[in-house]
Structure 1
Amino acid sequence: MKLKCVIFDMDGLMFDSERIVGECLKKAAKVYGYVITDEFRLQLLGRNKKANEKTLKEYFGKDFPNEKISLLTTQYKEKYILENGLPVKEGLYNLLKYLKENNIRIAIASSSSESVIRKYLKITQTYQYIDYIMSGNQVKESKPNPEIFKKVLKHFHINPLEALVLEDSQNGILASYNAHIPVICVPDLVFHDDSVNSLTLKVVHDLNEVIDYLKNTYELSSDNF
């Protein structure tokens, strides 16, 4: 089977942004008198804003000031990135270049908003590699629902076995599995147990290892599309 498209998650997979967001969220919540533990924060990984708001209000109560805390979190995050830059995950540039050289389409399927995705791509000078963006505010259901991945397949008119998903979160892996798309896990904040890892093709240390896997596994050619 020819590989025609690689679908990237973004936060925690392309960029080391989950740690930044997590610390900013905890700091913002504390301003309003709420304590978000690292353990609880992990429940929010890989899901869109609407889904996370539901989880936060179920946990803290309906009076949880989600919009205010979300706004303050964004302000803290933007200040941090402005002062420190946005860390890129090991092997990202190498993998993007490799995929382009082999005429494999590159898509992003992220629970973040489209504006955030485009901003991060511009900051890291990776925008020119991306063929298609599907964001969290373009779907009705958040990961682990497969909707976001199915929309990418529909855009490129390909079947699930002609695509490959790269994910770090459990919700993302489950979404890929539910869409019947092969998935490779590149762990970030969480190392999953066997019940999750068994749903993947492989668990790798970084994105450089994805290149090695592609070379040894898929049929690649210059006429994929």
Structure 2
Amino acid sequence: MIKTIIFDMDGVLVNSEPLHHEVSLVQFKELNIEVTNEIFATFTGNSNKMIYQKIKDRFQLEHEIEDLIAAKNKLFIEAFDKKEDLHLMQGVKELIEDLYNNGMQLVVASSSEMEIIDKVFERFDLNRYFTHKVSGNDFPESKPNPAIFLKAAELAQTPVENCIVIEDSTNGIKAAKSAGIYCIAYKSEGVDSQDQSLADSVINDYKELNYHIIKNIN
């Protein structure tokens, strides 16, 4: 029986990936580098540490990775605070409340830094529902490495066979499957850049899920 749901954040809980892309383009322009949409799509699900290591290597930047990440996060937080039309994914709050009210344990496992996770959770009043928040920045390797999901299951004190991951990215789905966890892929409207074929199931709308459906997944 499923006891713990592990949510990714960007693109799963909140439609923040376009904003991440927007501020990254501003930063790339300042750095005088051109990162194509095709290259950017491969970053989804990776931690900033891994993303900026790839960028540093590809474009032979002299900047320190930590400085690049700090500059990007500063841009993101400034834009996040000003963006009034940024919302949770349609239906996800209702699903969270349904799972929480029925005793499911909820954990977030995001590649973002904790300061970004905290910012999102405070804005949308999510802290009350989740027992743990895990940041990919705390691990040597990011998704598709399974470490972040294994840590989430460990913190929840739940065997992986009693967990479910909800993800949207190719890298995140690979990480969940490598961890031995059942993975539901959330495919939001207009997002076709991620291969979700390895997921155990794919949904287009959170109305397709509820406590009774999830608890009986084998």
Q: Over aligned residues, Cα RMSD in angstroms?
A: 2.0
Residues 186 and 154 of structure 1, relative CA distance in 2, 3 Å threshold: same
- 1:223 matched residue in structure 2: none
Offset at residue 25 of structure 1 (A): 0.4
Contact persistence 1:12–1:18 (CA under 8 A): yes
Q: 1:217 to 1:133 in 2, by over 3 A?
A: closer
Deviations 1:8-32 (A, max 9, x none): 0001110111110111101111122
- The letter for the 1-side match of 2:12 is L
Q: Which amino acid aligns with 1:117?
A: I
The amino acid across from 1:8 in the alignment is F
Matched, 1:175 2:180: no
Q: How far apart, CA to CA, are the structure 1 residues paired with 2:29 and 2:61?
A: 17
Aligned mates of 1:155, 1:78 — CA distance in 2? 28
Contact 1:6 1:105 in 2 (8 A): yes
Q: Supply the distance in 2 between the matched residues of 1:176 and 1:140 (Cα, whole angstroms).
A: 17
> Which residue in the other structure is 2:40 paired with?
41
Are the equivalent residues in 2 in contact too, given 1:25–1:70 (CA < 8 A)? Answer: no
Paired amino acid for 1:218: K
Cα separation, partners in 2 of 1:18 and 1:61, compared to 1, 3 Å: same
Describe the shift of the 1:28–1:192 C-alpha distance in structure 2 as closer, same or farther (beyond 3 A): closer
Which SS does the other structure have where 1:200 is aligned? coil
Cα offsets for 1:32-54 (capped at 9, x unmatched): 21122211111111111221122
- Kindly indicate whether the alpha-carbon contact (under 8 Å) linking 1:25 and 1:69 is maintained by their aligned counterparts in 2: no
Asked if residue 92 in structure 1 is aligned to residue 92 in structure 2, the reply is yes
| Cα separation, 1, equivalents of 2:155 and 2:67 | 35
Instruction: Answer yes or no: is the 8 Å Cα contact 1:14–1:92 preserved in 2.
Output: yes
Using the TM superposition, name which of 62-71 and 40-49 deviates more: 62-71
CA-CA distance at 1:58 after TM superposition = 2.6
Q: Distance in 1 between matches of 2:3 and 2:209?
A: 15
Partner secondary structure for residue 190 of structure 1? coil
What SS does structure 1 have at the residue aligned with 2:107? Answer: strand
Which residue of 2 is the match for residue 121 of structure 1? 121
Maintained 8 Å contact 1:56/1:64:
no
Farther-moved stretch of structure 1 (69-78 vs 121-130)? 69-78
* 1:48 alignment partner AA: S
Say yes or no: does 1:31 pair with 2:30.
Answer: yes
Contact 2:5 2:165 survives alignment (8 Å)? yes
Secondary structure at 1:107 match in 2: strand
Deviates more, 1:115-124 or 1:134-143: 134-143
Residue 139 of structure 2 is matched in structure 1 by: 139
The number of equivalent residue pairs is 214
Regions of 4+ moved over 4 Å: 64-69
Q: Is there any run of 5+ residues in structure 2 with no aligned partner, and where? A: none
Q: What is the distance in 2 between the residues matched to 1:54 and 1:80?
A: 24
Asked if the contact 2:168/2:194 (under 8 Å) is kept, the reply is no
Superposed, 1:58-97 pairs within 5 Å as 58-63=57-62, 66-67=65-66, 69-85=68-84, 86-97=86-97
Q: What is residue 187 of structure 1 aligned with on the other side?
A: 187
Report the 3-state secondary structure (helix = DSSP H, G, I; strand = E; otherwise coil) of the residue aligned with 1:134. Answer: strand
Shift of 1:69: 4.5
| Equivalent in the alignment of 1:11 | 10
| Alpha-carbon offset, residue 76 of structure 1 | 2.9
Percent identity of paired positions between Structure 1 and Structure 2: 27
2:205 is aligned with what amino acid? D
SS at match of 1:131: strand
Shift of 1:77: 2.0
User: Helix, strand or coil for the counterpart of 1:109?
Assistant: strand
Q: TM-score, normalised by structure 2?
A: 0.89
The residue identity in structure 1 corresponding to 2:100 is K
What is the CA-CA distance between 1:125 and the residue it aligns to? 1.2
- The secondary structure found in structure 1 opposite 2:133 is strand
CA pair 78-16 structure 1, distance change in 2 beyond 3 A: same
